[in-house]
Amino acid sequence: MTRKLVAIIVGAAMVVGFLSWGAYAHRSHGHHRMDWIAKRLNLDDQQKVKLEAIHEAMKQARAEFKDERAALLDEVEAQVKSDQLDQAKVLQLFEQRHARMNQAAPQIIAKVAELHATLTPEQKAEVIKHLDHMKERMQKHQ
């Protein structure tokens, strides 16, 4: 296999994985995760409202992608079943998904910025601590 083909297959697998993880997280842990974040950062009521706005914006974006996600998975499945992978089609699917994510990102990032502006130095330190922990976990899996 060429490197490009491997990269495309890995990219498609990542897209499917992220979509599956996102759907699972939304069904199982959405509000639990928000409660955990609020507790961990000791957010006040105003900050909790801003965190909930982020969560709602993400839920809305996922809902808008629902039909597209099903169609994407159907096409990925068809590509896996085929005798030869249509690299151009897989790349096009990946680019379409990426473009949709880029459309939703500004609204979500604006809401994150609103919350960020209200965080205390202690809360920011806690966020950094968590990010460092995530980096360590990711490095262990490389």
Owning domain of residue 51: 3-140
Does 67 score more than 90 pLDDT? no
Rounded Cα gap, residues 76 and 93, in angstroms: 9
Count of Cβ atoms closer than 10 Å to residue 111 Cβ: 19
* Total structural domains within the chain: 1
Give the range among 9-18, 59-68, 123-132 with minimum mean pLDDT. 9-18
Closest by CA position to 93, among listed 24, 6, 25, 14: 14
Q: What is the mean pLDDT of the chain?
A: 81
Instruction: Please give the pLDDT value at position 44.
Output: 94
**Arithmetic mean of pLDDT, 66-91:** 85
Give 43's pLDDT tier (boundaries 50, 70, 90).
Answer: very high
Backbone angles phi, psi at 63, to 5 degrees: -65, -40
